[in-house]
Amino acid sequence: MSLFDQFLIIAAIICSFSGCAAVSMDRAVEAETVSAVSESEYSDSASQVEGTIYFEYDKYNLSASAVSDIRALANSIKSSSSKVRIEGHCDERGTREYNLALGEKRANAVSELLQVNGVSSSSITTVSYGEEKPVTYGSNESSWTKNRRAVVKVL
């Protein structure tokens, strides 16, 4: 199964669960995305309640590995009855206010999938920091990749 097919299936799954308009909109631009999809730097192992999900440039749809990471996060959040805060972040490219909006879309994408996997909405808060809080400085692809993220933190 090609990566593109995987994407469509995952997007379809998410949409069917959440009826999420944002995700379906992403499908329209997916053809453009797919060539770039491959990186899967996930910093936290699935057994933890906290984790970081990475995104493609200018996108807020979830990659296949992000979906499985979030599913694992959901299970540990439920079993530990944790309350979490999801922070959405972007790389420095593009405008700051647009990135603030993009960061929120990323945080919401993670939040929605956590809820689909049984985490109660009352135990999730989201905030977007846009490009204001990079983990690493540097105007290059390696920094940008690390900065395009949603971070799930236990409150």
Partner 1 sequence: MIYRISTLLFLIFSSFLTSELRIEITEGIKDPIRIAIVPIVWNLENPPRKYLHEIISSDLESFGEFESLSPKEMLSLPKTDKELFYRDWKLLDVDYLVLGSASQGEVKGEVVVNFSLFNVTRERLMKRSISTGTTFYLNALAHVISDRIYNEINGLPGIFSTKISYINKNNSSDEKYFLRVADIDGRNDSIIFSSTEPLMSPDWSSDGRRLAYVSFEEGTSRIFIQEIYTGKRKSLKLEKGINSSPNWSPSDRYLAAVLSKGDNPDIYRYDLEKDSWKQLTNHFGIDTEPDWSPDGKKIIFTSNRSGTPQIYEMTISNGKIRRKTFEGTYNARARYTPDGRSFVFVHRRDELFHIAVQSLRTAKLQILTDTRLDESPTISPNGKVIIYATKEKEKDILAGISIDGKTRFTLPTSSGGVREPNWSPLLVSTSN
Cβ 64 to partner 1, closest distance in Å?
22
* Residues in contact with 12: Cβ distance below 8 Å, sequence separation at least 6, in sequence order: none
Residue 23 or 62: the one with the smaller Cβ distance to partner 1 is: 23
Closest CA to 67 of 4, 120, 11, 16: 11
Q: Which two tokens stand for residue 63?
A: 């990659």
Determine which residue in the list 101, 115, 145, 153 makes contact with partner 1, applying CB under 8 A.
101
Tell me the number of residues near partner 1 by CB under 8 A. 29
How far is C-alpha 46 from the geometric centre of its chain's CA atoms?
A: 15
Residues 136 and 5: their CA atoms lie apart, in Å, by 33
Determine which residue in the list 16, 47, 95, 120 makes contact with partner 1, applying CB under 8 A.
95
Q: Which two tokens stand for residue 78?
A: 């439920």
* Per-residue x/- track, 20-59, partner 1 (CB under 8 A): -xx--x--xx----------------------------x-
Q: Where are the alpha helices (DSSP H) in the chain?
A: 3-18, 21-28, 30-34, 64-80, 96-116, 141-147
The reply to whether 105 sits near partner 1 by the rule CB under 8 A is: yes
The reply to whether 104 sits near partner 1 by the rule CB under 8 A is: yes
Cβ 38 to partner 1, closest distance in Å?
18
Residues 54 and 35: their CA atoms lie apart, in Å, by 16
Write out the residues near partner 1 by the rule CB under 8 A.
21-22, 25, 28-29, 58, 92-98, 100-102, 104-105, 108, 126-130, 132-133, 137-139
